[in-house]
Amino acid sequence: MRDKQLLVTGGAGFVGSHLCERLVKMGYDVYSLDNYFTGSEGNHVAGVTYIRGETKDIENLVDFKPDMVYHLGEYSRVEQSFDDIEKVWKYNKEGTFAVLEFVRKAGCKILYAGSSTKFGDGGLGRSASPYAWTKATNTELVMNYANWFNVPYAITYFYNVYGEREIQTGRYATLIALFKEKMKKGEPLAVVSPGTQRRNFTHIDDIIDGLVLVGECGYGDEFGIGCEDGFSIIDVANMFGGHIEMLPERKGNRMAADVIADKTKALGWTSKRKLTDYIESLRLNDWK
């Protein structure tokens, strides 16, 4: 009997590479489809078969029927999405439609990585940026494919993932990695005003624990994977201890988002890692 074949879109990215690594350790036959927009060959994991290309071309690039598709390969930045709207449409609309068609024809389950921006500011956040809107409407499309074509699915929502392999520099850098690099270089920590916007930073290992569990056991919507501890951006900057430089407010920058994790917890998942512990480990090992 062959090993289960699993396809991870975005498998060379931050979250995707960690997921591929875990799935290989579990004994699965793992494939990655990635266009390397933010992914990197430096994130490649031994034992994974890598396919380079766009998700919109998935039918021509993937010549087998996987047992499951983890669809992580989309555009995933809020503020930058205003300038990158053509990429957002290509990756998040054209790409996800093609992936859903592929899954429908393959007859397999899809785990879709939604965005917690959908729940931001009491639900208003879903239309606050091109990124947020495409992600929110894609969750509806996934659910409609389930109703229209009986496609089995689960939808997860990440909350501000941090950890090893984050993008550290450039316009797509994530906050914790950016602060880490600034501290190492002795540069100010840039905080977008007002600084009181709250985030639920969640360690990559907790995210992968949740993804694997939901992939194997979860069906339906609202599988949030997020740490319940929320911190303002100013709080986080103060944890790092560097000099703070305030930046002007930016479009699409939500103030808060509730963690919707009851269904994930019902499967047995809990958040085990603390941001405070992670920052302390960086302080001891990286810049002192």
* Full domain range(s) for residue 37: 5-285
- Over the stretch 255-277, which tens digit does the pLDDT of each residue have? 887 899 999 999 999 999 999 99
Structure tokens at 182: 């600034």
Task: Please tell me what DSSP assigns to residue 194.
Answer: T
pTM score, whole prediction: 0.95
The total of other beta-carbon atoms located within 10 Å of residue 88's CB is 23
Cα Rg, the chain, nearest whole Å? 18
**Chain Cα centroid distance, residue 253:** 17
Mapping DSSP to helix (H, G, I), strand (E, B) and coil, where does residue 286 land? Answer: coil
CATH of the domain at 103: 3.40.50.720
- Tell me what pLDDT residue 38 has: 95
Count how many domains the chain has. Answer: 1
The sign one gets for the Cα dihedral 23, 24, 25, 28 is positive
Give the neighbor-by-neighbor strand order of the sheet with 153-158. 48-52, 29-34, 5-9, 68-71, 109-115, 153-158, 220-225
- Over the stretch 227-262, which tens digit does the pLDDT of each residue have? 999 999 999 999 999 899 999 998 888 788 789 999
Percent share of the chain, pLDDT over 70: 98
Task: Return the closest-CA partner of residue 258 out of 194, 177, 199.
Answer: 199
What secondary structure, in 3-state letters, does 70-120 show?
Answer: EECCCCCCCHHHHCCHHHHHHHHHHHHHHHHHHHHHHCCEEEEEEEHHHHE
